[in-house]
Amino acid sequence: MDLFLKYSVVAILSSHVLAFKFNLTKVTSFPIKYPGFTSLYEIFDNTGNSSKYDLLISTFDPVPFSTDTVQIVSDVGKQLLSNSSNIFPKIITTKVTWPNEISGVPRGVDPSIRKKVWHFLFGFFPCSSTSREREDILIDYMMKYHEQKSRWKTMLVLNAKPGASLLEQGLVARYQIDTTNRAVRSPDGEFNDPISEFETLQFNLMAGKMKTADPDFKAMSKSFPDLNINSPELKQKIDFMKIQSQVLVNRHNINVKNLWSHLRVIDKDVPRTDRDHEFFKGPLNPNLTVLREVLATFAAFHPKIGYAQGMNDILARFLVVFDSEVETYWCFSHYMSKIQQDFTEEGMITDNRHLTCNTHTLSNFRTGCGTFRRDGFRITSAFTTT
């Protein structure tokens, strides 16, 4: 007997989140390499056009299909999803066999929409947010990150010996310095004169005016190139958020001694980060500077977690996907807040890291994006039956 199941599906299309319900007809199930089952569906619109949906059930035990959850593993049927009122199911009469039909289905999130999906998956944007709200959230995150990074750098300078170099202050690492002309590699790939930078910084500190320039919105968030920061309304909003960020950040007490300790470990790990990957290859790679800046900022403003070996490899995955310092920092921060116990002494002893990482990642969808459920060692996805 065919099973008719009702699904609450969240489709991420462009910059919008579209939620709707429709009935799917179960065709058949196939055992796969990993414990669990996969089922194939076909959805027809009122013109007779169809799209096939391959749904992967992410469970460790065979359970009744009506009580489990599914995940769309390929980005198909965009036209159908944009007009959900015309969607209705139809039984597929052709027998489908494993692995011929299903083995080619891509696993994970399609690369073309991965950035947008990860924004929601790792808490950068709430699933219920509108386009206007996401613009405000982005600006707020940019200002906060900019002020946080400026704050720990200022504290390093204030606590350094008079006349100390940028390297001695901890503002740069040896792998950021071109030994031929002693220039410093910045995150945007350009070389800056460390002497003039140092003199400017010292002058501002002596004058009691440690001011920092506004962040470059284009450079800091490459995923939002159309952000119009020249409109009067947006400029006013940016000024207000900047003041808010400065007040919030200045309330935070940075333990410079602990930060120095973290920086020593960070500067050992960052040069070893996935150097076979094209994104991190080559000497004086500016992406290594981004890794250092993000890890140092995180350690300074998350003293209970700080930095532990292995965090650089986790951060690298975010940076490769986003190629944006701000988005990388905040998604990494949200993720680390969920799995922080795995980087404590007790958590490392239990060595339960992979299960916990998956569990807490999926739990970000609990509100707004679906229902999260864990039953023993069963891990379910964000797209759930109702």
- What per-residue confidence (pLDDT) applies to 260? 95
Statement to judge: residues 138 and 42 lie in one domain? no
Please give the Cα distance from 42 to 249 (Å, whole number).
52
Statement to judge: residues 59 and 162 lie in one domain? no
Statement to judge: residues 179 and 94 lie in one domain? no
Q: For residue 374, tell me if it sits in a domain.
A: no
Q: For residue 348, tell me if it sits in a domain.
A: yes
Statement to judge: residues 287 and 208 lie in one domain? yes
- What per-residue confidence (pLDDT) applies to 308? 92
Q: For residue 236, tell me if it sits in a domain.
A: yes
Statement to judge: residues 137 and 238 lie in one domain? yes
- What per-residue confidence (pLDDT) applies to 340? 79
Statement to judge: residues 196 and 318 lie in one domain? yes
Report the DSSP beta bridge partners of residue 50.
44
Q: For residue 42, tell me if it sits in a domain.
A: yes
Radius of gyration of the chain (CA): 24
Statement to judge: residues 51 and 158 lie in one domain? no
Give 353-371 pLDDT, tens digit per residue.
Answer: 444 455 555 555 544 454 3
Statement to judge: residues 43 and 186 lie in one domain? no
Report the DSSP beta bridge partners of residue 178.
183
Statement to judge: residues 264 and 218 lie in one domain? yes
- What per-residue confidence (pLDDT) applies to 108? 65
220, 142 Cβ separation under 8 angstroms? yes
Q: Which residue has the tokens 């005016």?
A: 209
Which segments in the chain show pLDDT lower than 70? 1-108, 179-214, 216-225, 343-386
Ramachandran quadrant class, 10 (left: phi over 0; alpha: psi -120 to 50; beta: rest): beta
Give the max Cα distance, the chain: 81
Statement to judge: residues 245 and 294 lie in one domain? yes
Q: For residue 344, tell me if it sits in a domain.
A: yes
Q: Is the dihedral of CA 111, 115, 120, 126 positive or negative?
A: negative
Please give the Cα distance from 174 to 322 (Å, whole number).
26
Average per-residue pLDDT for the chain: 66
Statement to judge: residues 261 and 313 lie in one domain? yes
What is the rounded end-to-end Cα distance, in angstroms, of the chain? 20
Q: Supply the range of the domain harboring residue 12.
A: 4-108+380-385
- What per-residue confidence (pLDDT) applies to 14? 29
The count of structural domains within the chain is 2
- What per-residue confidence (pLDDT) applies to 91? 33
Statement to judge: residues 14 and 140 lie in one domain? no
Q: For residue 112, what are the contacts with CB-CB under 8 A and spacing of at least 6?
A: 75
Q: For residue 322, tell me if it sits in a domain.
A: yes
Q: For residue 233, tell me if it sits in a domain.
A: yes
Q: For residue 217, tell me if it sits in a domain.
A: yes
Angle at 143 (CA atoms; ends 141, 146), nearest 5 degrees: 105
